[in-house]
Structure 1
Amino acid sequence: MRSTLGIAAAAASIASAQPAAARDPLVLRPTEPWTMNYGEDSCQLVRIFGEGEDETALMIEQFGPSERVRITLISRYAQLRVRPYPHYAIDRKTARSVSPPQIGVRFGKTGEAMEARVKSASMADGRFITVASAVRPTLQGPETEKEQDEPYHLPALSIDALAGSDRVAFEGLADGDLILATGPLAAATKAMNACSENLLSHWGLDVAAHRTLRSPVRMVDETVPWLNYPEQQSFERMEGLIEYRVMVDSAGRATGCHVQSGGGPNTDFGDAVCHGMMNAVAFEPAINADGEPIASYFRGTVDFRFL
């Protein structure tokens, strides 16, 4: 299902500037309204910025209710400052491992830049596609740890935190920083929250009960090794990014595993994740407001990469 949100691009206060040097920021304005793609297993906001060779696509995705998103940037300016793995896994001069590539993602003019681990690849048309996973959109500082006895709330993007944001900036790219003048993000955030919550009904779950859960599904022991790198992909030094969902019944039994994104034609990465989840992981069921176990889900991301 596909629909368009008519969200105004009120970004007149952002001065557009062409980069005079590689490190100067480039500001691109939107050329289309936000498009919301409603899937059975994901929600995706898409918007196009710039024209001609500058055309840049921004995709913001969620795979269930969450405070975090996956951001995909497709642009000639999306090239990383250093090559992604496995090309420079070892610095030959020092014989030390090089840290995984990262970029900074900043919401709003004064928001905190969040470091995000990324994957990147070149495209046939000369553009680059760069994916940053588990980004927490906020104008606040770094995330603080929650207290153990803090009540559980169905996670969602903070509309209040993003209401004052009028841009998304990407820092640490090869050609300098890139700023996308999104305009106010409150309406887009509200649409994403509604879509991600509605995914629960597609999965056959009680949405109302999940809004008032005492506790979500949890792994009984997070230290248990459950995942192996697929042998062929390891031999060929292939990498992958898998989003997955496990359905867990009221007794804590895993009843099904679904690869939500990243499977593609090669299913080995997704198969490895689901095999581990279904055979090596024990779960505690979700508990509703009345203290009773109910059917729910466990969701996660696996980043297969060489370090």
Structure 2
Amino acid sequence: MKTGGWVVGAGLLLSSAPLVAADKDEPVVLEPSSPWNMDYAEDYCRLGRIFGEGEQRTILIMDRYAPGDSFRLTLAGAATNAAKSGGEAHVQFGPGWDEQTVRFFSGKLGEKTPAWIFAGNARIRPLTEAQRAQVAAQVAEEGLADSTQIAPISEADEAATTQVRFDRPLHRPLILHTGPMKQALDAMRACTDELVTHWGVDPKQAKAQSRRAVPRGSPAYWIGPDDYPLGMLNKGKQGLIYFRLTIGEDGKPLSCHIQQSTDPDGFDKTVCQLLMQRARFEPALDADGKPMKAYYLSSVRFVIP
């Protein structure tokens, strides 16, 4: 697997000088100050770019943990000091796509840079109300849903997307001029297809599968309140843990891997131990209806009321 970062779409670099809104009610508009960078990490594909300079320097990160249309955002820079304890942010890709509300946790990128780490998945073009209902029905029936199959993002959609806007809870809206997103997201797709091969899964077979691995019973019973690590509970620590299970042809987990965690030392071991013991699936089926090796991605959130 490629592990180093490499530059994507250097030709998309516009002006390195930030555009500062003159009126306090107007958005702050920032142009790119770096090319897109595509990082082939071991557990995810990370697309990142820097906008603006100096005190306005802002970093946009889009992480994708498997093939699909959705991604997890990170926004880093001084603007995120507008909300230091987490909350919900209004995000809009475009111009023209509908605004979406995505929950975030406040944290840091590196040791010093304040950041919003988004917990929910975002898409360039969010689901409509009818599509959300379709996803909810699929989740109720199968325990998971694939929004890519319900409302795929086309290459024309990606090419038409040239900016991302962050609004509330920022004091002033922030607009990042990305340039057409298609070339950068092409690189993301190539990365996620390669990523799947390192899980022992054929990406072509996975795309053609007639059924995904479906949880037997509700995943909500795999890890419950009584499983909260005592040491973290006593410290008042909360956690958000994203995991990946590799599922065998018999529907049993072959391995558990933590893809991202807010507190690796406190929660990760507990999560994987319990999932390996309790998680069971109806196996994925290939195009011919035969059981096949597959993967399952989800998250666990430990919250103190």
Structure 1 length as normaliser, TM-score? 0.83
How far is 1:141 from its partner?
Answer: 5.0
Change in 2 beyond 3 A, CA 1:80/1:25: same
1: CA distance, partners of 2:13 / 2:111: 31
For 1:304, give the aligned amino acid: F
2: CA distance, partners of 1:240 / 1:208: 34
How far is 1:7 from its partner?
Answer: 4.3
Kept in 2, the 8 Å contact 1:77–1:173? The answer is no
What is aligned with 1:60? Answer: 62
**Secondary structure of the structure 1 residue equivalent to 2:233:** helix
Kept in 1, the 8 Å contact 2:9–2:184? The answer is no
Match of 1:20 among 10, 19, 23: 23
Change in 2 beyond 3 A, CA 1:68/1:124: closer
What is aligned with 2:94? Answer: 108
Q: Say which is worse superposed, 172-181 or 135-144, in terms of deviation.
A: 135-144
For 2:155, give the aligned amino acid: I
Kept in 1, the 8 Å contact 2:13–2:34? The answer is no
2: CA distance, partners of 1:277 / 1:292: 25
What is aligned with 1:305? Answer: 303
Correspondence 1:92-107 to 2 at 5 A: 101-107=87-93
What is aligned with 2:85? Answer: 84
2: CA distance, partners of 1:292 / 1:153: 24
Change in 2 beyond 3 A, CA 1:245/1:206: same
Q: Supply the RMSD in Å over aligned alpha carbons.
A: 2.8
For 1:279, give the aligned amino acid: Q
What is aligned with 2:163? Answer: 167
What is aligned with 2:125? Answer: 139
2: CA distance, partners of 1:158 / 1:302: 31
What is aligned with 1:45? Answer: 47
Change in 2 beyond 3 A, CA 1:115/1:160: same
Match of 2:266 among 260, 265, 268: 268
What is aligned with 1:240? Answer: 239
2: CA distance, partners of 1:63 / 1:193: 11
How far is 1:132 from its partner?
Answer: 1.1
**Secondary structure of the structure 2 residue equivalent to 1:267:** helix
What is aligned with 1:31? Answer: 33
Kept in 2, the 8 Å contact 1:111–1:141? The answer is no
For 2:296, give the aligned amino acid: F
Do structure 1's residue 193 and structure 2's residue 177 form an aligned pair? Answer: no
1: CA distance, partners of 2:220 / 2:112: 43
For 1:51, give the aligned amino acid: E
Change in 2 beyond 3 A, CA 1:207/1:164: same
**Secondary structure of the structure 2 residue equivalent to 1:200:** helix
- Post-superposition CA distance 1:84-118 (Å, at most 9, x none): 26xxxxxxxxxxxxxxx100111012211111010
What is aligned with 2:216? Answer: 220
Number of corresponding residues: 286
Identity of aligned residues (%): 28
Q: Unpaired segments of 5 or more residues in structure 2?
A: none
What is aligned with 1:71? Answer: 73
How far is 1:177 from its partner?
Answer: 1.3
How far is 1:188 from its partner?
Answer: 0.9
**Secondary structure of the structure 2 residue equivalent to 1:196:** helix
Kept in 2, the 8 Å contact 1:79–1:175? The answer is no
How far is 1:220 from its partner?
Answer: 0.8
1: CA distance, partners of 2:146 / 2:166: 32
Change in 2 beyond 3 A, CA 1:173/1:122: farther
**Secondary structure of the structure 2 residue equivalent to 1:135:** coil
Change in 2 beyond 3 A, CA 1:121/1:153: closer
- Post-superposition CA distance 1:29-58 (Å, at most 9, x none): 101100000022110001011011111111
For 1:62, give the aligned amino acid: R
- Post-superposition CA distance 1:180-237 (Å, at most 9, x none): 1101001111111121121111111122211200111111111551213222222222
Match of 1:5 among 3, 8, 17: 8
Report 1 or 2 for greater relative contact order, CA contacts < 8 Å, sequence distance ≥ 6: 1
For 1:226, give the aligned amino acid: W
For 1:195, give the aligned amino acid: C
Q: Unpaired segments of 5 or more residues in structure 1?
A: 86-100
What is aligned with 2:255? Answer: 256
2: CA distance, partners of 1:66 / 1:270: 25
For 2:274, give the aligned amino acid: G
1: CA distance, partners of 2:154 / 2:198: 23
2: CA distance, partners of 1:154 / 1:173: 29
Query: When you count helix as a share of all residues, which structure comes out higher?
Result: 2
Kept in 2, the 8 Å contact 1:159–1:189? The answer is no
What is aligned with 1:211? Answer: 207
